[in-house]
Chains A and B, each alone.
Chain A
Amino acid sequence: EVQLVESGGVVVQPGGSLRLSCAASGFNFDEYTIHWLRQAPGRGLEWVSLISWDGRTTNYAGSVKGRFTVSRDNRKNSVYLQMNSLSNEDTALYYCAKNMDSRNDGDRPLDYWGQGTLVTVSS
């Protein structure tokens, strides 16, 4: 069974930093691109970032570029999202999701999602 479990969400002050983790199981992790998405309270979905299956390609939404960094450790079946210079606008439930097709760099739908981890930026 495919599972994605996010962790690391906490309350953090504006200007602070945080690292989220996404632990995966139930599929050949090192063959799949992983995406990060977020959803502010009561709002819609926003795609945030992706890291390709081999770690060679990363992309970011304009709203986070230069502040967020995505990485992966295929030995630990995990993806990470380092978030710096956080602002109130980054408050959201953060999801990781799996790319539909293997060995593809990201232009595919997202067929499995985690339950999300909540990041609250507040003083």
Chain B
Amino acid sequence: IVVTQSPDSLAVSLGERATINCKSSQSLLYSANNKYYLAWYQQKPGQPPKLLISWASNRESGVPDRFIGSGSGTDFTLTISSLQAEDMAVYYCQQYFSSVSTFGQGTKLEIK
């Protein structure tokens, strides 16, 4: 499964909304449990990735509610509703639907 993110980089002003898209080459819906096998991670320089969102829209414990995952089928979105300075990072989507997991190429989020 090929996962493609857009854009590759994004500059947003503090307090504004940031939107990152993720498209998979096939549906990530597992019909037996009606769940989308898609996660979002945040990676800051010199740190390992941090899981933000699982199952396309489930925010992990401790993740601020300004991070919102949405989407269905093959198209997914990570929205940061009001950008904070600490949100500067690279964001990755990951499909874990297939036995060989794959990541998008990453989106670098910068402050305008």
Contacts and interface: CB of A to CB of B under 8 A. Distances in A.
Interface of A: 35, 44-47, 50, 59-62, 95, 97, 100, 106-111, 113-116
B106 A44 contact: yes
Contact of A46 (B37, B41, B99, B103): B103
Contacts of B102: 47
Interface string B50-73: 110011000010000000000000
Contact of A100 (B49, B50, B54, B92): B54
6 contacts: A45-B41, A50-B101, A100-B54, A109-B54, A111-B51, A113-B49
B21 to A, nearest CB: 16
A108 to B, nearest CB: 6
**Interface of B, helix, strand, loop or mixed by DSSP:** loop
Given A100-B54, A109-B51, A109-B54, A47 B101 contact: yes
Interface string B70-112: 0000000000000000000010101011011111111000000
Contact of A44 (B37, B39, B60, B103): B103
